[in-house]
Amino acid sequence: MKCPNCEQHELTEARENYLYQECGLGNVTLAGIVVRRCPGCGNVMPRVPNIEGLHDVIAHLLVTKPERLIAPEIVFLRKYLGWSGADFAKNMHCDRAQISKWEHGKVGMSKPYELLLREMVASGKKIEDYQRHEAAREKRFASRAVVLMLEEKEWREAA
Ligand SMILES: [Zn+2]
């Protein structure tokens, strides 16, 4: 297959562990997916099967993580819910300026807002997991590295 970007070089294809920055998070690696690369222009084209299922798993990991949510995770969850900034402000009962501060990491979300967001994500997707109620017990804002693997078309966290 020719590179659709430069239309000059043949794409190479290999399985690799791919840092999935397209989701907006810097800590999610997709294990062993097919990635096409152009040796000429540097175009990179990962093949990500079942993106909806993948985003379900990432959202679940976020709403159940014990550490507080960081700014890019808040943005991910807002987009996962399919909300604009205005939708987010309306559903969180706060103003746009507040949303902007959270999403740019100017201030951390206060616990009640963070728990509300987690609940909205969880209930929207009917995720039953008690652990999310334990959210925000840790004081530090942090994000651990996550490796996701495709098993029979379903994304799971690698052990
Ligand atoms: Zn190219």
Q: Is the dihedral of CA 125, 131, 135, 139 positive or negative?
A: negative
Instruction: Tell how far the Cα of 34 is from the centroid of ligand 1, in angstroms.
Output: 17
Q: For position 126, what pLDDT does the model report?
A: 40
Instruction: Tell how far the Cα of 155 is from the centroid of ligand 1, in angstroms.
Output: 29
Instruction: Tell how far the Cα of 29 is from the centroid of ligand 1, in angstroms.
Output: 24
> Model confidence over 49-101: pLDDT tens digits?
999 999 999 999 999 999 999 999 999 999 999 888 988 998 888 999 999 99
Instruction: Tell how far the Cα of 60 is from the centroid of ligand 1, in angstroms.
Output: 36
Q: For position 46, what pLDDT does the model report?
A: 96
**HSE-up of residue 143 (Cα within 13 Å, Cβ side):** 16
Please check whether residue 11 is in contact with residue 45, taking contact to mean a CB–CB distance below 8 angstroms.
yes
Percent of the chain, pLDDT > 90?
68
> Model confidence over 112-121: pLDDT tens digits?
999 999 999 9
Q: Outline which parts of the chain fall under CATH 1.10.260.
A: 51-141
By three-state DSSP, how is residue 53 classified? helix
CATH architecture for the domain at 51-141:
Orthogonal Bundle (1.10)
Instruction: Tell how far the Cα of 23 is from the centroid of ligand 1, in angstroms.
Output: 23
Identify the band that residue 139 occupies on the pLDDT scale cut at 50, 70 and 90.
low
Instruction: Tell how far the Cα of 130 is from the centroid of ligand 1, in angstroms.
Output: 47
Which structure tokens are listed for 128? 């039953």
Among candidates 34, 55, 43, which has minimal Cα distance to 11? 43
Task: Give CA–CA dist 40/47, Å, rounded.
Answer: 19
Which structure tokens are listed for 123? 């209930």
Question: Is pLDDT above 70 for 6?
Answer: yes
